[in-house]
Amino acid sequence: MPRVRRIRRARRALVVLLVVVVAVIGVLVVGRIVRRHPQVIGAPVTATGKQTISYGSSADQVYDVWPAVGGSGSAPLVMFVHGGGWTSGSKDSASSPYTSSYYPAEGYVYASINYRLVPSVTVEDEASDVAAALKSLLDHAAELGIDPGRVVIMGHSAGAHLVALVGTDETYLAGLGLSESSLRGVIAIDGAAYDVPTQVAAGGIMHDRYLEAFGSDPVRQAALSPTSHAAAPNAPAFLLPHVQRPDGIAQADELAAALRAAGTNAEEASFPGTGLEGHAEINRGLGDPTYAETPVVDAWLAKVFA
């Protein structure tokens, strides 16, 4: 009898162990699914806190979105597109540490997107991802508390190029049933690829990166240049903040002039800073109330959303 009892106790212990193992495996599997497909498992989309939502089949086609704080009814949307030379970066590594709390506190829904990167895809695909992320946000407007009639897209560096391209070449939005009138404006922060052929011809430290992203065909380079598409229709308003980089200033001047010639409102805003450090700081400081760019962007947003 003692031997039988020992066998029974061993069997019970084995059953308990198996239950624990199965439970642990289940938690790991579910966690992996949630990380890879953020919208597959979990509560419905609601504007109660930060959410991560997929807008395509790639793991890179995802965005974080934060609801506006306070107020009632729907709120304007500010959607941010990170930089990284079209080949790197993410919403987590190439965004300001302030914006995801600052803009919701200002009464805006704030979204920060990832997109597929060169060389796995083309720059044309990246611009299509920007449009697709916006379409997804507008599809969820009611659940996320977004006013679909008040939308601004904002980007830094390569992200500045992409939002400027989507804001001037309507084919990216039109393919999804949207148009430039779906936007109130575009904020392109310290970009330097609004006129790609000029940048490629100039050489410099980014020359090889430009060739990797845009290729050597001048026709394709022009097709991916926001300045080439600045004749109407465009997004109604542009803000082009930049630091004291000669190519960035020249490119912003050229784009602003082309937009104004087409009857589009275009403003530039110049800030201290030089080289790559200044280029990084104008992105990193956005949303910090003590940084000079923040109140300028605030005033512009208030104006275009009025």
Among 32-46, 177-191, 278-292, the range scoring the smallest mean pLDDT is 32-46
- Would you state the pLDDT for residue 16? 38
Mean pLDDT of 256-279: 98
- Whether the pLDDT of residue 57 is over 90: the answer is yes
pTM of the model: 0.85
- Would you state the pLDDT for residue 23? 37
- Would you state the pLDDT for residue 127? 98
Gap between the Cα atoms of 187 and 103, Å rounded: 14
Mean pLDDT taken over the chain: 88
DSSP state of 182: G
Among 65-74, 129-138, 183-192, the range scoring the smallest mean pLDDT is 65-74
Place 232 in a pLDDT band, splitting at 50, 70 and 90.
Answer: confident
- Whether the pLDDT of residue 259 is over 60: the answer is yes
Among 125, 206, 135, 199, which Cα is nearest to 162's?
125
Q: What is the C-alpha R_g of the chain?
A: 23
- Whether the pLDDT of residue 168 is over 80: the answer is yes
- Would you state the pLDDT for residue 112? 98
- Would you state the pLDDT for residue 87? 98
Mean pLDDT of 252-274: 98
- Whether the pLDDT of residue 70 is over 50: the answer is yes
Mean pLDDT of 265-283: 98
pLDDT digits (tens, 9 = 90+) for 134-166: 999 999 999 999 999 999 999 999 999 999 999
- Would you state the pLDDT for residue 270? 98
- Whether the pLDDT of residue 208 is over 90: the answer is yes
pLDDT digits (tens, 9 = 90+) for 213-226: 999 999 999 999 99
- Whether the pLDDT of residue 48 is over 70: the answer is no
Mean pLDDT of 251-274: 98
- Whether the pLDDT of residue 240 is over 90: the answer is yes
- Would you state the pLDDT for residue 203? 86
- Whether the pLDDT of residue 47 is over 60: the answer is no
Strands 51-54 vs 62-66: parallel, antiparallel or unpaired: antiparallel
Cα 127 to Cα 62, 116, 130, 155, 251: the distances in Å are 14, 10, 5, 12, 19
Could you list the beta-strand ranges (E) of the chain. 51-54, 62-66, 75-81, 109-113, 146-156, 185-189, 237-242, 265-270
Place 116 in a pLDDT band, splitting at 50, 70 and 90.
Answer: very high
Mean pLDDT of 69-88: 95
pLDDT digits (tens, 9 = 90+) for 4-24: 444 445 455 444 344 333 333
- Check: CB of residue 51 under 8 Å from CB of residue 67: no
Q: Please, which residues have CB within 8 angstroms of residue 217's CB and are 6 or more apart in sequence? A: none
Q: Which residue has the higher pLDDT, 172 or 72?
A: 172
